[in-house]
Structure 1
Amino acid sequence: MRLRASLPVIILCVSPLIIIFTILLSILYGAKNIDADTVWEAIFFFDPSNVNHQIIMHSRLPRAIGALLIGAFLAISGALMQGMTRNYLASPSIMGVSDGSAFAITFCMIFIPNASSLDMIVYSLIGSAFGVGVTFGLASLLPNGMSPVRMAIIGVIIGTFLSSVSAALASYFQVSQSVSFWYNARLHQINPDMITLAIPFAIAGIAMALFISRSITVLSLGEEMSISLGQRTLLVKLIATASVVILTGISVALVGKIGFVGLIIPHITRFLVGIDYRRVIPYAGILGGIFLSLSDILSRFLNYPFETPIGVVTSLFGVPFFLYLIRKRGGKKHA
């Protein structure tokens, strides 16, 4: 019991070391291994004519930072969705949010081929909002549609439909190769400039999540209790949804769809730090970043020297976890 109570402090103290370690591993190892001395020189004495320095600064380092950020964004989004809906199966990848973003990116690439990086982010946010709106709207219209399993089924159906339409459009307009990026989540092709553009959006999304974290804790205990305590539940849900839309949208805009991070990490976080979302949200961000970074490193060695898509690696953990939740929890909402 004493160890359980001290876990948040332990995680907070140990996580910076783990983050630094994962960044270092991500820079050192890949199709071409690079020694630590070269990494030091590239960071502090960058030589544009040195190929290894170019790889480190323009590929490996942005990839490491991107994995940490995107893992954090998706985990926070999943935590908000699970707390807001009291649905233990809620996550951006299952509820059609990620597919909505990828659909909008596909639309943008076909009809606005000269769109800037900022335009891509904005369209991804619009698609994210569309995906979550359709899923929750349809679920609210169906009998018992808001139950965890039924909502997950609706989300998967909406996501599959949007993916199919995207694939059909990409094939018809002959942009399948370009669009495949957004459905295979290639972290190694992340654009450093887009990371910079995404930071203000990320700050806004995380700030909203932290601002309503206490309200999400109350809402996760039940809507009736939330209303009886005088909480403006509709406003809380709107802010939470906006945060999910922003964080998921920029994640898809940066690297494409990545599944299961937003499903697994919130559950692990609640087990470690409790059900208070003032802790769950920031700690989910930390653990989500570490999880995706380690998954990215693992993806380089499963079929070395070729890389395994990061979505395959997260699915290796996510699919069994998903089935476990359905078997263990049935159709019950989490407390």
Structure 2
Amino acid sequence: MNIPLSSIQLTGYAHGGGCACKIPPGELEEAVRGLTGQTHENVLVGLDDGDDAAAVRITDDLAVISTADFFTPVVNDAYTWGAIAAANALSDVYAMGGTPVTAINLVGWPRSELPLELLTEVLRGGMDIAERAGAPVTGGHSIDSPEPTYGMAATGIAHPDKLMRNDAAEAGLPITLTKPIGVGLLNNRHKQTGEVFEAAITTMTTLNKDAAEEAVAARAKAATDVTGFGLLGHLYKMMRASRVGAVIDHTKVPHIDGVTEALRDGYIPGGSRRNLDWVRPHLNVADGFSEDELIVLADAQTSGGLLVVGEVPGYPVIGETVAEHPGTVTVR
């Protein structure tokens, strides 16, 4: 195949990009309805509350964390896509308060459409991020597929008593967000125009390692990472699982540079609109709050930050948990 690698626009080979190509949250919950309730004495975190990863007790002081994440291209550069996908997959381990120890590649590749040299760059990007996390890539699986797809299955470890989970939030605590939001809007603009947003790439390739370690050191018990269901969607899931409510101040939520312009120019991903439609019945929104402001809060993120119930030094507090209106998010 004699296609110059630099001329290939990877995002053009997929109907969606990054975590915005997830099955919509409402549809996914319907699909897995009735599959919960499995019981095993050593399963600490399983299917019941849709947490970021599974956790299984091995010994009194060791739990194994298991997760997988993959998606279609979110940027056109192959190496960068691989790095973003790896950081995103490893984020689920960090969201549980764990340390990644190994990862395996998950690949779907249209071998008749795209050169394998490009796949090599994707895998190299993923391997470099895994190396940075201290989690060697030890294997993988690949298939010939209509769309390019890449991600990882990751394994981590944690102390059973120090797990952060999405059903452990308590009322009366601050809510911390460790990365700015808006990559869904910027990635959609990138796909349609080819513009590159370095600030978005930087945040997507930044591991949640430091944030997770600081959250565990602060004795946080509840956390999740902000990915395809957006800030509002993931916060709602955590509040619903924990049976408490949340109040957030939208002026405290940091945005990536360029998000306001992307919103103004209409580069709104379909996944972000679906997120808002799904979570809207569970929102209390202050009068005068615009639809555009809600869209940003529901924007489908890829490799987003951690949403921690508790104060994490060095990161912005965007709200607090409350006892009132359990399973509801109030936006003001």
Q: Which has the higher helix share?
A: 1
Q: Which protein has greater RCO, CA pairs closer than 8 Å, 6+ apart? A: 1
Q: Tell me, yes or no, whether TM beats 0.5.
A: no
TM-score, with normalisation over the residues of structure 2?
0.28
Q: Which has the higher strand share?
A: 2
Question: Rg bigger for which structure?
Answer: 1
